[in-house]
Amino acid sequence: MTLFVIAIILSAALLHAVWNAIVKTAADRTTTLGLVAFGHVLPSAVMIALLPLPNAESFVYILLSTVVHFGYYYMLGRAYQHGDFSVVYPIARGIVPALVGIWAMIFAGEVLPLQAWAGIAVIALGIQLSSWKALRSGVGRTALGFAVGTGVFISIYSLIDGVGVRLSGNTLSYWAWGAFLHIFIAGFIAVRKRETLAALPKRTWALGLAGGLVSMTAYGLVLYAKNFAPLGAVSALRETSVIFAALIGFVFLKEGYWLRRLGSAVLMAGGVALIGLAV
């Protein structure tokens, strides 16, 4: 894997941690998630008007990804209702690399070398270390269930989009259509929260829509990288977003202990190196 591709994935990881922090700190997380979804729709509408259609065979993957994203947004919102950002995020993201590696091996025929699996394991260890004290003190059963559910949904749409973007013939078009179909997620939440939306302060609207732009950009970078690297490796590198989330939690949300976060960052860096040298 080239340094350029690694840099793209790590940039996406940082952006992903930022928009998750926006959702976690929101007073009404469900409504904010709806605004994040809507933040995908506006720029993507312009893109699909200008770009050619992706290949027809990729549209079924775009639709499947949209359905799975419904479950992802639901699980994520409920997880943040019941658990701290620094606990929910590592659990949800920590199980993803191994799951994506397994799904990719079964359904896409991608077999990672042993060194790449070692890198995935090191990253997973770093993820758990980043919030070890909070995890050791106990995670509520409800928060744990929703966090694990979030991770499962992430692994499924990661596989779907990894296969779909390769069939699309145009990464930008696939990205734009996938983002535009977030209109159904935004619409569903808008109907459920129609009374709340009218009373939302402008700052909440701005944060939610900004979070959507950040989220869309992050996933576009990941989709691009999936054209050039195995899906399990891309997913593992993307999950270094956990260390960015841990730093955000420590600096801005006053969660956690800096020395442990530093140790987890070193572990994840080692995992990134193992994967980068292996694939």
pLDDT digits (tens, 9 = 90+) for 175-210: 999 999 999 989 988 898 888 887 888 888 888 899
**Single-letter amino acid code for the residue at 26:** A
Judged against a pLDDT cut of 70, whether residue 261 lies above it is answered with no
Higher-confidence residue: 253 or 97? Answer: 97
Span 249-278, average pLDDT: 73
Instruction: Please tell me the predicted confidence (pLDDT) of residue 137.
Output: 61
Q: What is the pTM of this model?
A: 0.84
**CB-based contact 93:239 (threshold 8 Å):** yes
Q: What is the pLDDT of residue 107?
A: 92
pLDDT at 139: 63
d(CA 246, CA 89): 9
pLDDT, tens digit (0-9, with 9 covering 90-100), for 113-153: 999 899 888 888 877 776 666 556 656 778 888 888 999 99
